[in-house]
Amino acid sequence: MSDSFLTPDWPVPAGVRAAFTLRSGGVSLAPYDSLNLGRHVGDAPEAVAVNRRRIGEQLGLPQEPSWLEQVHGVAVADLDAATRILRADAAVTHSVGRVCVVQVADCLPVLLAATHGTAVGAAHCGWRGLAGGVLEAAVAGLQVPPGELCAWLGPAIGPGAFEVGEEVRAAFVAHDARAAGAFAANARGRLQCDLYELARQRLTGLGVQRIFGGGLCTYSDRARFFSFRRDGRCGRMAALVWLTAA
């Protein structure tokens, strides 16, 4: 692990590359200090450009990532399509050199890869997108049998910090009664929500059995992670995955 990114620990073929950026190692000033990759948060555009260029160089990216306009929805950008529609919360590709990326600062990033190294994808899972089916849409977009996929859950706000209302629990339980186990009542009459567990339930429900990562809390680790719920104005990190010629 470098000071600027961590490398997912998941059993994927050599031709699958992935990374999750941290908050240090960039040029942005507070409250975006310092490796902010989001252009939409109020940071100086020139600083974001430098940060993105640094990440590209450090990771040896084959080309500029396909940055999405994320809207907490379920649309999937097919990076192999002749016309790319990037207003989406997930991206997939079967092509060498195209970089799938999602930005987060508490929402859960999920990376997906075919175990035979022919396809990869990334999904941005805030609670609305997760409840709405963004993981289901991303898996479908990969056109790979779910049993032949590997998933990695990146850093997100942990259950100890993610307080929600009953409407969030209801949205998940309406889809699957098992989801009730991902919520715990707190002393304020609200609920603590476990995004990692909800994502695992959705993935296993689809037939994805190889699931790794999870458990790194963006809210509680100020030194390494941006957190919107903790800080309000802040930068964005990125989860990236791409194929190389192994």
- CATH numbers and ranges of domains, the chain: 5-158+208-243 (3.60.140.10)
pLDDT of residue 127: 97
Confidence of residue 84 (pLDDT cuts 50, 70, 90): confident
The per-residue pLDDT for range 112-136, each reduced to its tens digit, is: 999 999 999 999 999 999 999 999 9
Cβ–Cβ < 8 Å for 211, 112 = no
Q: How far apart are CA 237 and CA 226, in angstroms?
A: 7
Q: How far apart are CA 186 and CA 72, in angstroms?
A: 26
Residue at 129: amino acid letter: G
pLDDT of residue 245: 86
Q: Which of 56-60, 80-84, 176-180, 227-231 has the lowest mean pLDDT?
A: 80-84
Q: Is the pLDDT of residue 48 over 80?
A: yes
pTM for the whole structure: 0.96
Residue at 89: amino acid letter: D
CB atoms within 10 A of CB 87: 11
Q: Is the pLDDT of residue 20 over 70?
A: yes
Cβ–Cβ < 8 Å for 198, 187 = no
Find the mean pLDDT for residues 234-242.
Answer: 98
Q: Is the dihedral of CA 151, 155, 158, 164 positive or negative?
A: negative
Q: Is the pLDDT of residue 240 over 60?
A: yes
The per-residue pLDDT for range 174-188, each reduced to its tens digit, is: 999 999 999 999 999
pLDDT of residue 85: 87
**Planar angle of CA 26, 61, 78, nearest 5 degrees:** 110
The per-residue pLDDT for range 189-228, each reduced to its tens digit, is: 999 999 999 999 999 999 999 999 999 999 999 999 999 9
pLDDT of residue 102: 98
Percentage of residues in the chain having pLDDT higher than 90: 96
Q: Is the pLDDT of residue 157 over 70?
A: yes
Cβ–Cβ < 8 Å for 91, 109 = no
Find the mean pLDDT for residues 53-65.
Answer: 96
pLDDT of residue 246: 64
Query: In Å, how far are 115, 141, 183 from 121, measured between CA atoms?
Result: 12, 9, 28
